[in-house]
């Protein structure tokens, strides 16, 4: 009953809020597209420290209730349409993985991989030949080569291999060579070693980049799918500090099979209905 009431309040407030800006927008003339400042060599300048607004994607990329391991809840998640086109075996495995948090690679201080690393603050540096993205979390890093060079062969990595190009003001990054060990979140959503991610970083105002990714993995999904969230510029006095993560095996004793599980009400009603 309490949940129902909360739902009513949320719905009511959404109903109250949404139409106002919508009608305002339809009346106003269309704003010209944002033209970002340029670097010395003419690239759209995306440099700075960016903080993603991910609606708790690190916990689950799908709509999820809040809870101990799932942090704050999110009604939308970051996946377009709110569901994943999982193949039946993959859906079963994902569900099983939620009961095995001890296998979560981030719990073992591994690189998160792409897109998972993007859920945490990072700093972008742009040089004429490459763009470096340095993440605070796990002190992860990737170098996006912009010189048109091909992906390497016979090499798999946690962070994959990133090669990029510009489409207008949008930085498009092609990520392949991913290993099959990184995951999308803590809710059991995984991928295989043929994962192919195409990311699009589009600056929309001086403090916002719209980030969007197409996830392509025919071993796990039935079709490609999309996820997106905005990145906000960090306040000027922010600096990237060191995140060590691996301070020794003091947590090993806590990584007991089945100890940490996803709350039972994790999956939304919509998904439960689908399963029936």
> Is 194 among the residues that bind other proteins (CB under 8 A)?
yes
Burial of 62 per CB tally in 10 Å (0-12, 13-18, 19+): buried
Using the structure block, give the residue that is written with the tokens 């708790």. Answer: 56
Beta strands in the chain (DSSP E): 48-52, 122-126, 130-135, 141-145, 161-167, 170-176, 196-205, 208-216, 225-233
Please identify, using beta-carbon distances, which residue of 40 and 269 lies nearer to other proteins.
40
Of 29 and 244, which CB lies nearer to other proteins in the complex structure? 244
Using CB under 8 A, which of the segments 5-13, 68-76, 187-195, 260-268 binds other proteins? 187-195
Count of chain residues binding other proteins (CB under 8 A): 56
Gyration radius of the chain over CA positions: 20
Q: Per CB under 8 A, which of residues 197..236 are in contact with other proteins?
A: 216-218, 221-223
Calpha distance 206→208 (Å, rounded): 6
For residue 237, state whether it binds other proteins (rule: CB under 8 A): no
- Work out how close the CB of 225 gets to other proteins at its nearest, in angstroms, rounded to a whole number: 12
Sign of CA dihedral 63, 68, 72, 73: positive
Task: Give the residue, chosen from 196, 202, 231, 266, that forms a contact with other proteins under the rule CB under 8 A.
Answer: 196
Tracing tokens 């972008």 back to the chain, one arrives at 124
Site string for other proteins, 9-48 (x = CB under 8 A): -------------------------------x------x-
Per-residue binder mask for other proteins (CB under 8 A), 124-163, x = binder? -xxx----x-x----xxx-x-x---x-xxxxxxxxx-x--
Among 3, 29, 236, 242, binds other proteins (CB under 8 A): 242
What six digits make up the tokens of 25? 């927008």
Residue 118 binds to other proteins (criterion: CB under 8 A)? no
CA distance 49 to 30: 29
Instruction: Report if residue 89 touches other proteins, rule: CB under 8 A.
Output: no
Give min distance, CB of 251 to other proteins, in A. Answer: 9
Q: Write down the H helix ranges in 113-268.
A: none
Neighbours of 38 (CB within 10 A): 11
Q: How far apart are alpha carbons 219 and 128 in whole angstroms?
A: 36
Binding site for other proteins (CB under 8 A): 40, 47, 87, 105, 108-111, 123, 125-127, 132, 134, 139-141, 143, 145, 149, 151-159, 161, 174, 176-177, 179-181, 193-196, 216-218, 221-223, 239-242, 244, 246-249, 252
């Amino acid at each position: 009953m309490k949940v129902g009431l909360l739902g009513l309040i949320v719905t009511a407030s959404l109903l109250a809020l949404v139409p106002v800006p919508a009608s305002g927008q339809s009346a106003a003339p269309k704003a010209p597209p944002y033209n970002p400042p340029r670097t010395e060599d003419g690239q759209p300048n995306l440099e700075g420290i960016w903080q993603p607004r991910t609606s708790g994607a690190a916990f689950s990329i799908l709509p999820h209730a809040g809870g101990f391991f799932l942090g704050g809840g999110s009604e939308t998640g970051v996946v377009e349409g709110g569901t994943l086109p999982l193949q039946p075996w993959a859906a079963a495995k994902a569900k099983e993985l939620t009961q095995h948090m001890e296998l979560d690679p981030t719990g073992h201080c591994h690189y998160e991989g792409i897109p998972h690393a993007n859920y945490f603050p990072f700093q972008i540096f742009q040089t004429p030949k490459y763009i470096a993205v340095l993440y605070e979390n796990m002190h992860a890093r990737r170098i996006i080569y912009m010189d048109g060079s091909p992906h390497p062969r016979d090499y798999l990595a946690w962070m994959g291999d990133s090669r990029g190009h510009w489409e207008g003001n949008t930085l498009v990054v092609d990520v392949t060579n991913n290993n099959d060990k990184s995951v999308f979140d803590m809710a059991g959503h995984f991928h295989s070693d043929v994962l192919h991610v195409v990311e699009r970083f589009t600056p929309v105002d001086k403090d916002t980049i719209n980030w969007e990714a197409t996830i392509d993995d025919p071993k796990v999904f039935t079709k490609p799918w999309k996820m997106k969230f905005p990145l906000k510029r960090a306040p000027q006095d922010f600096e990237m500090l060191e995140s060590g993560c691996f301070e020794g095996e003091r947590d090993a004793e806590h990584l007991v099979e089945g100890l940490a599980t996803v709350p039972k009400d994790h999956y939304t009603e919509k998904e439960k209905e689908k399963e029936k």
